[in-house]
């Protein structure tokens, strides 16, 4: 959830460090801090709130060094205070940490008994004191520093990534990780007198340094990295838990920095919404070729699932993609499918059967990884991830990567539609009817190639609706069939970035309870699918009859059918508005999308729900990319 960086260079590093932290701010923005070593002393600077507060403080009183560590926090243990902000210091040890130390309470008792004084409520502070405890018992040589890390590492339980410096070794930096991502990048540079003066970068996400490095790698679990800057030459070494050296396998940096910048867009979320046509096409091409290459193993996987069950597991938006997939796998591939929240699956003692597929944009979501680990010994696992180097990608037997590119906005958009593409392509590979298969593919391609145009020409009407929606306290989203999860996703987006209470329901459930909430203060967004047109239109009538207001999202063909069946009703309904001055939202509004088909329409519905939430949030002045209390990647259970 937090972002950590540690940069070792031969020039002043603070500017780069702050840029790196800014890239990671999507991982947490409750507080931020940095540390440098000066005259064998650790100097920290921290600020509560967004990174800009730390930047302002550094502008007023700059810190400078060639070597520095930094952190941006999403609070878990202890509130968002300066004391709880990282870096955390023991007398000569300073650390930044991402993840959770599960046994921190007993370690804290133990260290307090040894005389260590704690200044924060965090689990992280036990790491700095624990390392200090072991270091104090040594001769304080370089190998003792490594040893103290090894000893501490052995005592820590949980999932964590840590960067460490020692004030008596100001040219060195260490990092270790277990169950939490940590990347290492190298930039080869030479000084004027031809000395090799490399720059080294550590971060919880390589995007934090990708613009400066030529090569990089990702630390595996239980590895310790040691960087040492010398007057003549620099070095870095990787160790396993027994402190034996391991070969570092650096790869060419292939990350593009187009994803790190918003370009001409006001927010990453808007940029990412607009990237969907490209993301869908790239994902489709990629996954179709993977399906061809791995036909045998995928057929085996699905044959087993067909005999028993296919289980799709994820959290949040990724879970909604699983719900959509369940619908198609059952309807078209006739594979019995479950879709389940990872956090529920983990603790309900499920009867395990069939094959398992885990979906995660980040590939680092704790619950999803824990659910994977629960079944991976006995069952074949598949992962659909957007980050190819993530833990989930490294753990699963079969990995399919969405080609959305890094998603920075906290609210997931392009990752969701790319997950749908992977699922629909997999489903397609398991359908025997050629005509249906071809239609799936055609619809996916049409959706991708026409979405851009839709975004271009329909923004204004969505903006106008958003102006009205921003005045309401509560909203309902309805859908049937595969559009039901779209309704859930619509409600989630609105909660996340608009702070408006919203619920998604299967439209058929409306009269089983939620209808009691309907009145003129409760706009209802209805996602219409052609197969359920009549049924869902009855739901619209039910809402209108109770003074509710409906925004109906439907394709062109459904819109025409609506006019035929309910001729002139829409205008009559709107002319009967009771309070046109107080509130300009009409009783019945339509957002019309092109007619693509059962598969393709879902992508337009997805874009509509994203834009409605985005423009409503803008009206409300919410920081769209960094809404309150959230972080992009949830690495705690
Ligand atoms: O990285 P993941 O897909 O595993 O993340 C799962 C959820 O945390 C995520 O989808 C969350 O719900 C998003 N903020 C939704 O916009």
Residue among 538, 587, 582 nearest 562 (CA):
538
In the block, tokens 């689990």 appear at 123
Mean pLDDT, residues 194-199 taken together: 80
Q: Which residues pair with 172 in a beta bridge?
A: 228
The verdict on the CB of residue 625 being under 6 Å from ligand 1 is: no
Mean pLDDT, residues 6-29 taken together: 91
Dist. CA 622–CA 624, nearest whole Å: 5
Mean pLDDT, residues 140-163 taken together: 95
Among 200, 227, 252, give the residue marking a domain's end: 252
DSSP string, 345-365: HHHS-PPP-SEEEEEESSS--
The verdict on the CB of residue 390 being under 6 Å from ligand 1 is: no
The verdict on the CB of residue 362 being under 6 Å from ligand 1 is: yes
The verdict on the CB of residue 386 being under 6 Å from ligand 1 is: no
Q: If you compute the radius of gyration of the chain from its CA atoms, what whole number of angstroms results?
A: 27
Bigger pLDDT: 573 vs 510: 510
Tens digit of each residue's pLDDT (9 = 90 or more) over 547-572? 899 999 999 999 988 877 764 455 55
- Per-residue confidence at 574, pLDDT binned at 50, 70, 90? low
The verdict on the CB of residue 634 being under 6 Å from ligand 1 is: yes
471/384 same-domain check: yes
Tens digit of each residue's pLDDT (9 = 90 or more) over 29-67? 889 999 999 988 999 999 999 999 999 999 999 999 999
Residue among 518, 445, 480 nearest 605 (CA):
480
- For residue 61 the two structure tokens come to 């009183």
380/238 same-domain check: no
Residue 425 CA, ligand 1 centroid: distance in Å: 22
106/243 same-domain check: yes
Tens digit of each residue's pLDDT (9 = 90 or more) over 597-617? 999 999 999 999 999 999 999
The 3-state secondary structure of 546-600 reads CCCEEEEEEEHHHHHHHHHHCCCHHHHHHHCCCCCCCCCCCCEEEEEECCCCCCH
Q: Is 15 a catalytic residue?
A: no
Residue 316 CA, ligand 1 centroid: distance in Å: 5
> Residue 633 domain-assigned?
no
364/505 same-domain check: yes
> Residue 261 domain-assigned?
no
pLDDT given for residue 306 in this prediction: 94
Total domains, the chain: 2
Among 252, 279, 304, give the residue marking a domain's end: 252
Phi and psi angles of residue 614, each rounded to the nearest 5 degrees, phi first: -60, -50
Residue 575, pLDDT > 80, answer no
pLDDT given for residue 582 in this prediction: 42
477/615 same-domain check: yes
DSSP state of 219: P
Q: Ligand 1 pocket: which of 29, 318, 359, 492 to mutate (most atoms <8 Å of CB)?
A: 318
Q: Is 495 a catalytic residue?
A: no
Question: Is the overall model pTM greater than 0.95, yes or no?
Answer: no
> Residue 59 domain-assigned?
yes
pLDDT given for residue 179 in this prediction: 85
User: What range does the domain containing 504 cover?
Assistant: 268-620
Residue 351, pLDDT > 80, answer yes
> Residue 9 domain-assigned?
yes
286/235 same-domain check: no
pLDDT given for residue 578 in this prediction: 45
The verdict on the CB of residue 317 being under 6 Å from ligand 1 is: yes
DSSP state of 199: E
All residues at 6 or more sequence positions from 69 whose CB lies less than 8 Å from its CB, including other chains: 4, 5, 6, 7, 34, 35, 87, 94, 95, 96, 163, 165, 173
Mean pLDDT, residues 61-81 taken together: 91
Q: Ligand 1 pocket: which of 320, 361, 419 to mutate (most atoms <8 Å of CB)?
A: 361
Residue among 90, 46, 44 nearest 72 (CA):
46
- For residue 566 the two structure tokens come to 């309910």
Residue 363 CA, ligand 1 centroid: distance in Å: 10
Which range of 252-256, 442-446, 632-636 scores highest in mean pLDDT? It is: 442-446
The 3-state secondary structure of 494-534 reads HHHHHCCEEEEEEHHHHHHCHHHHCCCCCEEEEECCHHHHH
């Amino acid at each position: 959830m937090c972002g950590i960086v540690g940069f070792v260079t031969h020039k002043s590093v603070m500017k780069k460090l702050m840029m790196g932290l800014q890239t990671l701010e999507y991982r947490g923005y409750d507080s931020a801090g940095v540390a440098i070593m000066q005259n064998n002393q650790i100097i920290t600077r921290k600020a509560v709130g967004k990174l800009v507060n730390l930047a302002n403080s550094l502008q007023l009183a700059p810190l400078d060094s060639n070597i520095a560590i930094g952190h941006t926090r999403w609070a878990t243990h202890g509130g968002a205070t300066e004391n709880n902000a990282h870096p955390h210091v023991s007398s000569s040890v300073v650390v930044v940490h991402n993840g959770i130390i599960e046994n921190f309470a007993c370690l804290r008792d133990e260290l307090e008994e040894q005389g260590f004084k704690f200044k924060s409520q965090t689990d992280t502070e036990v790491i700095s004191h624990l390392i200090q405890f072991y270091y104090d018992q040594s001769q304080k040589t370089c190998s003792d520093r490594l040893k103290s890390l090894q000893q501490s590492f052995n005592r820590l339980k949980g999932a964590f990534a840590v960067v460490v410096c020692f004030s008596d070794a100001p040219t060195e930096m260490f990092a270790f990780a277990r169950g939490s991502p940590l990347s290492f990048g190298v930039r080869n540079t030479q000084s004027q007198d031809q000395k090799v003066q490399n720059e080294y970068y550590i971060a919880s996400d390589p995007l934090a340094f990708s613009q400066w490095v030529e090569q990089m790698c990702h630390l595996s679990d239980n590895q310790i990295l040691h960087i040492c800057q010398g007057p003549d030459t620099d070095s870095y070494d990787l160790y396993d838990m027994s402190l034996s050296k391991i070969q570092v396998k650096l790869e060419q940096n292939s990350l593009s920095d187009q994803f790190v910048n918003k370009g001409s867009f006001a927010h990453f979320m808007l940029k990412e919404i607009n990237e969907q046509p490209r993301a869908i096409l790239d994902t489709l091409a990629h996954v179709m070729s993977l399906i061809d290459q791995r036909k045998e193993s995928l057929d085996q996987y699905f044959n087993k699932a067909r005999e028993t069950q296919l289980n799709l597991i994820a959290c949040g938006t990724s879970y909604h993609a699983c719900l959509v997939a369940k619908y198609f796998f059952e309807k078209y591939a006739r594979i019995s499918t479950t879709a389940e929240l990872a956090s529920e699956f983990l603790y309900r003692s499920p009867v395990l059967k069939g094959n398992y597929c885990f979906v995660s944009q980040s590939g680092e979501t704790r619950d999803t990884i824990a659910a994977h680990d629960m079944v991976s010994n006995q069952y074949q696992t598949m992962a659909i991830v957007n980050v190819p180097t993530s833990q989930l990608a490294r753990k699963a037997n079969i990995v399919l990567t969405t080609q959305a590119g890094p998603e920075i906005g906290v609210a997931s958009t392009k990752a969701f539609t790319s997950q749908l593409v992977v699922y629909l392509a997999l489903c397609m590979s398991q359908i025997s009817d050629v005509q249906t298969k071809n239609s799936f593919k055609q619809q996916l391609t049409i959706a991708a190639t026409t979405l851009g145009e839709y975004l271009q020409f329909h923004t204004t009407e969505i903006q106008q609706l958003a102006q009205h929606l921003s005045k309401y306290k509560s909203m309902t989203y309805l859908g049937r069939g595969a559009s039901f999860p779209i309704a859930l996703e619509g409600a989630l987006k609105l909660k996340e970035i608009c702070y408006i209470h919203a619920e998604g329901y299967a439209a058929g459930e409306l009269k089983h309870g939620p209808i009691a909430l309907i009145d003129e203060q409760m706009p209802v967004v209805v996602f219409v699918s052609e197969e359920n047109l009549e049924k869902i239109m009855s739901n619209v009538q039910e809402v209108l009859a109770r003074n509710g207001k409906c925004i109906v999202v439907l394709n062109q063909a459904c819109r025409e059918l609506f006019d035929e069946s309910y001729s002139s009703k829409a205008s009559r309904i709107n002319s009967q508005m009771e309070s046109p001055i107080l509130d300009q939202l009409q009783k019945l509004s339509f957002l019309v999308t092109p007619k693509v088909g059962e598969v393709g329409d879902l992508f337009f519905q997805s874009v509509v729900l994203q834009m409605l939430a985005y423009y409503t949030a803008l009206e409300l002045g919410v920081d769209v990319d960094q809404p309150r209390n959230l972080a992009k990647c949830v690495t705690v259970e």
